[in-house]
Chains A and B, each alone.
Chain A
Amino acid sequence: MLSKIVRTVTNGFMPIIIIFGLYIIAHGHLTPGGGFQGGAVVVSGVVMLLVAFNSQELKKSLRERVLSIMESSGALIFIGLAFAGIGTVFAYNLLVGSPIFGHIPPTGPNPGDIWTGGVIPLMNFAVGLKVIAGLSAVVLALALFSSGEEVEE
Chain B
Amino acid sequence: MATSPQLETVESADYLNAEYGVKSWLLTTDHKRIAILYLASITFMFFIGALFALVIRLELLVPDGTLVQADTYNKMFTMHGLVMIFFFLIPSIPTVLGNFLIPLMIGAKDVAFPKLNLMSWYIFIVGAGMFIYTILTGGLDTGWTFYTPLSTSFVSSSVVIGALSIFVVGFSSILTSLNFIVTVHKLRAPGMTWGRLPLFVWASYATSVIIVLGTPLIAISMALVALERIFGIGFFDPLLGGDPLLFQHLFWFYSHPAVYVMILPGMGIISEIITCFSRKGVFGYWSMALAILAIAVFGFLVWAHHMFVAGISVYSALVFSFLSYFVAVPSAIKVFNWTATMYRGSLYLTTPMLYALAFIGLFTIGGMTGLFLASLGFDVHVTDSYFVVAHFHYIMVGGMVTAFLGGMHFYWPKISGRMYPESWGQVAAAVIFIGFNLTFFPQFILGYLGMNRRYWHYAPQFQVLNVLSTAGASILGIGYLLPLGYFAWSLRYGRRVGDNPWTAAGLEWKTPSPPPTHNFPETPVVTWEAYNYAELPKDIEILREETFAGD
A and B bind: no
Q: Which residues of B does A touch, CB under 8 Å?
A: none
Q: Interface of A with B (CB < 8 Å)?
A: none
